Structures are given as C-alpha cells and as structure tokens.
Amino acid sequence: ECKTANGLSVAFIGALDNGRTVRSLTYLLSKFDRIKFYFIAPREMQVKPDILAYLDKYKVSYELASDPSKIISQVDVVYQTRIDRERLQR
C-alpha cells in the first residue's frame, strides 16, 4: 500500500516521444518530493527534450535508458506504452 507518491521511482517504457499520457504523468508526478523517473525507450522514441528541460529546471531526478532489464528491479511503478510496429520498420 502506498499513501503518497513522494519518493517513488517510476519507469516509463515504450514509445515515449508521442504519447500524451507519459507527458502528463511526468508533469503531474514531478510535483512530488524525491520522485525519480526512468525513461526506457529506443533512442528514436525517447521522451522529448522539452520534458527533460522541465525536469532539469525543477531538479527532478531522471535517467534515460534503452534496456528495461537493468532498471526494472529498481522501480516502484512501471508504466508501459505500446510501440507501433510501423515505426520500427521505417
């Protein structure tokens, strides 16, 4: 049971560049204390620079990664989006 988001570590996995939910959740959860984000995606689908600039501005901790197996055991919450197969074939 978790009564607050303070101190949580959250992993976002998948196509992070075009999803509104990842963007909205990042902005919302960044309001909590000691939150840490892990953005796990292929480089071309990684979270957009404006979100990272926002996190930097407000000194919110985050890491970028491409391999979930190295991160998954360190997080409290995993939020996964789907990756469009069409985008992988380009």
Contact between 22 and 12 under an 8 Å Cβ cutoff? The reply is: yes
Residues 23 and 50: beta-carbon distance below 8 Å? no
- Reported pTM: 0.89
Cα 63 from Cα 11, distance rounded (Å): 9
Specify the number of domains making up the chain.
1
Average pLDDT, the chain: 91
Residue range of the domain that includes 31: 9-83
pLDDT band at 89 (very low <50, low <70, confident <90, very high): low
Among 14-23, 50-59, 77-86, the range with the most confident prediction by mean pLDDT is 50-59
41 pLDDT higher than 70: yes
Residue 1 lies in a domain: no
Res 84 pLDDT > 80: no
Percent of the chain surpassing pLDDT 70: 91
65 and 90 in contact (C-beta within 8 Å)? no
Tell me, yes or no, whether 90 lies in a domain: no
